[in-house]
Amino acid sequence: MITLNINDQEMRVDVAADTPLLWVLRDTLQLTGTRFGCGMALCGACTVHMDGQPVRACSTPVSAAAGAKILTIEGVGQGTTGKAVQNAWQHLDVVQCGYCQSGQIMSAVALLKNNPKPTDADIDQAMGGNVCRCATYVRIRAAIHDAAKSLA
């Protein structure tokens, strides 16, 4: 049994220690908002926060997540920054297919928590690990700036 803290809730899971956190979230805990895209930490669709830092759940063994505070898309809206980012996303209608957007939002929230007034270059740097095949990048950039303004 491994004990996890996910979105401020203690959860016990009976899985092999090397199981990626992604599949524990999705298959064991039915927290399906964290998406599977590549399995190699190349696309960012599975981004969650571990003690406030964005990590790729597909390449994080669940054993490494034990004892850490995990935040997923299901819980991110409870926080001020998360809510602001989601509001900006909705206001600008950033999404198209939407599949990558949980990960985009998690990366954007992590960026704004560390850097409340990011430049375009800061955004390119922080969001470079998140692929959007619909190429909603123009609006992702605009929504991050909008969220930053709303939090200022």
Residues in contact with another protein by CB under 8 A are: 16, 19-20, 23, 26-28, 30-40, 42-43, 45, 72-74, 77, 86, 89-90, 93-102, 105, 123-125, 127-128, 130-141
Cβ of residue 43: shortest distance to another protein, in angstroms?
6
Q: Which of 107, 84, 93 is nearest to 35 (CA)?
A: 107
Chain length of the chain? 152
State the nearest-atom distance from the C-beta of 123 to another protein, in Å.
7
Q: Are 71 and 47 a contacting pair, CB within 8 Å?
A: no
Q: Report the distance separating Cα 53 and Cα 48, nearest Å.
A: 8
The smaller minimum CB distance to another protein, of residues 55 and 100, is found at 100
Q: How far is the CB of 10 from another protein (least distance, A)?
A: 20
Evaluate whether 36 touches 46 at the Cβ level (below 8 Å).
Answer: yes
